[in-house]
Structure 1
Amino acid sequence: MPADLDLLTVQLLDAARKAGADTADAIAIDGTSLSIDVLKGRLENVERSEGVEVGLRVLIGKRQACVASSDVGDAAIARMAEQAVAMAREAPEDSSAGLADPSQLARNWDLARLDLDDPAPEPSPADLQEDARRAEAAALAVPGVSQTQSAGASYGRRRVHLAATNGFSGGYARSQRSTSCVAITGSGTAMERDYFGETRTYQTDLPDPETIGRIAGERTAARAGARKPPSGRFPVVFDERIAASLVGHLLAAANGSAIVRGSSWLRDAMGEQILPAGLDVVEDPLRPRIGGSRPFDGEGLPVARRAVVADGRLTSWTLDLATARRLGLESTGNASRGTSAPPSPSVTNIALTQGAQTRDDLLADMGTGLLVTSLIGSSINPTTGDYSRGASGFWVVNGQIAYPVNECTIAGNLREMLRSIRPANDARSHLSHVVPSILVEGLTLAGE
């Protein structure tokens, strides 16, 4: 029988009060996941997990401590509360620690509108195995594909309930269904691989396995004979499937934790032009059927659409209550909460303004340069914005793809890179981060 998560959080809060906490919040998570991997048409791996985990944060004045457990028996919960209170009494004071004021709390939310939980029955292992098998077969049917590395299908569902002594109590459930395939072309040292996968909240929204396998195979076959590109300074197009990483670096630099630490290349950039005029980066945690959506944040505050960047200018940090207090600002409703640590700020669903051109238009305008389809490793200086990453993709000559490339490095500075970006119009709207292909001028390329 599924655990009654709201009663668990009430029990945790009662135990915290009895142990001597001034205030407390509690989170209970009940999750189920099932994944199947297939190789050469046969079952390769099966993993299933399910269980309940609870977390308790207690505060004594401005001292706080967190504990977590997967044991939800009465005695275990009492011990958790006693341990948390003992830890809090020894913890250093933190002037930013504290629950939300009751006036700040989310009061009404519409779970039906968010539509985050597929009511369809959990798929059977046999159904998932069949999806993985079909995806693998479709990839192997693509000329040039020599083998697959893996093909898999998975399902997950999670319920969350958050409660606090300030009066907040709320919960929701979310589900997801995925299919993916990794294919290989060539043999020995000439092997190249690529992949494709999709995840949806509703099983009925997921593309069929044949489509996923075929795209994985086509991407892989196109990489046959990859070699190093020339070295020099060239324009680079970040393909849609990895372009979100650039916006991710911007978001990390605008995170309140980095700003409080002073370890962000955007720390003094509020109000400055960091993207070309006309471009926005907008967060919207209330998009229906999207994996990053949620009805309230990890501290029980309401969530809402907001612009991180408007018309190219940085307009907002990403803040929870603690970082907002340290900066003398208000929380943006971006607290994220696990079971074993205090809340911290994080973004949900993000969209970058799309352009009017296709990716092929960007390649034509680029002339000669690199189309990046995969990034490997990372060397990002969070304080200066210096950027260096391993990459692979395709060399472009006179606006046309000439040959696949691998084993190269692209480098630049994020502040300069982002001010020069030009987006295409090919972002996939069902993703949590809706970011199109992006042209960046003048990166340093190390190849041959």
Structure 2
Amino acid sequence: MAVFGLIDGNSFYASCESAFAPSLRGRALVVLSNNDGCVIARSAEAKERGVAMGEPWHLVRERRDAADLDWRSSNYSLYGDMSRRMYDILVSRVPRVEPYSIDEMFLDLRDVAADLPAFCRALREEVRRVAKIPTCIGIGPSKTIAKLANKLAKDRLELGGVCDLRDPLEREAVYPDLPVSMVWGIGGRTAETLHRMGVRSIADLVAMDSRKVRDTMTVVGARVQAELRGVSCLPISMMAPPRKGITVSRAFSRPVSEWGELRETLAAYATRAAEKLRQAGLQATGMTVFLHTPPFGKGEWYSNRNSARIEATSDTLALIGEALRLLRPIWRPGLSYAKTGVMLLDLVDEASQPANLFPTREPARSKRIMGALDAINARFGRDTIRPLAAGIERPWKARAMRLSPRYTTRIDEILVAASYRPISPAGRTRP
């Protein structure tokens, strides 16, 4: 019989920040989006203050109760590495682990332990001790039930961070009190449709005729209902689904009107997109470049994009050249732009890509150069070496006024322990 667990980092971004800054623990803390614009993560204390996800920071900080509200700029290098550390702990204890998001991972708990709740409590403690991340774990016979149990483990403190819904009688007891919108895979519009049909609780959905569910919610809804009934339809996947595209885009810290600066920003984004391509072992065969002026500015609103097929590549220099070629026709002088970006499309596996009989660049030479570039940046930090087209000073770069150190990925930002010299009983410092 299948048994799934879902482990989820509590207030993950905020927990990553407080893991290396004990002064933040127990305080109301929010993490802001790129350019320090909106709230994208909140500690439990900030949630209690009523700070909402997506709320603009300039409105939050004007509140009367915001005087002692701590905030940090988003530090994705730190969060990604903390997620990796969490994963490493889990794979050492559980046979199969499937990352679902940066802070959520499904666990295959079949035959792991006779007392699963006790095992999961010990697993939570090990993640907390080693990775410094508080978590909750939900257990169930299907992924959907495990995810539901995880939500209950977060909401109900008396459960101690672990909720086990393997027993059908336990599910029958809780389903009537849980809204159907709480189910993984049921969004706002679907929930509204179900409400109009009189289906408000999870118990109502489970009791609904299966054919009616399929007619209303297609095969996806039928699968959700089966999962809620305890029938596993979604096995643990050991391979991530292939990426269909990569997008790199940022809002500028200030309006950009000069062609040179706009070209520099797009070159920087193409550089980052190329890095992501090579990390995934992929090549792009299509590209879209877009830009727009401030949507709420006083000047003229302008938005445009340009797309093209390109020769399959993950070469940074080649992708920069293609991006700038697509940008030039849609750039309009005299306008101040707020954002631009690059989308790499129609991705193909590099290993299975047939050789081009008439390549525009030498593949072997490109591979050696990109390999050396990635190796240096992996050792000494991203952007240690980058194309000159991507800029040096980068005055357009997004604001990050309170960016915490990248404690785990940059040697020059690692925590340093202060030297300690014990005091002798006579009051003199020992040599």
Normalization by structure 2: what TM-score? Answer: 0.22
Normalization by structure 1: what TM-score? Answer: 0.21
Task: Give the structure with the higher percent helix.
Answer: 2
Rg larger in structure:
2
Task: Give the structure with the higher percent strand.
Answer: 1
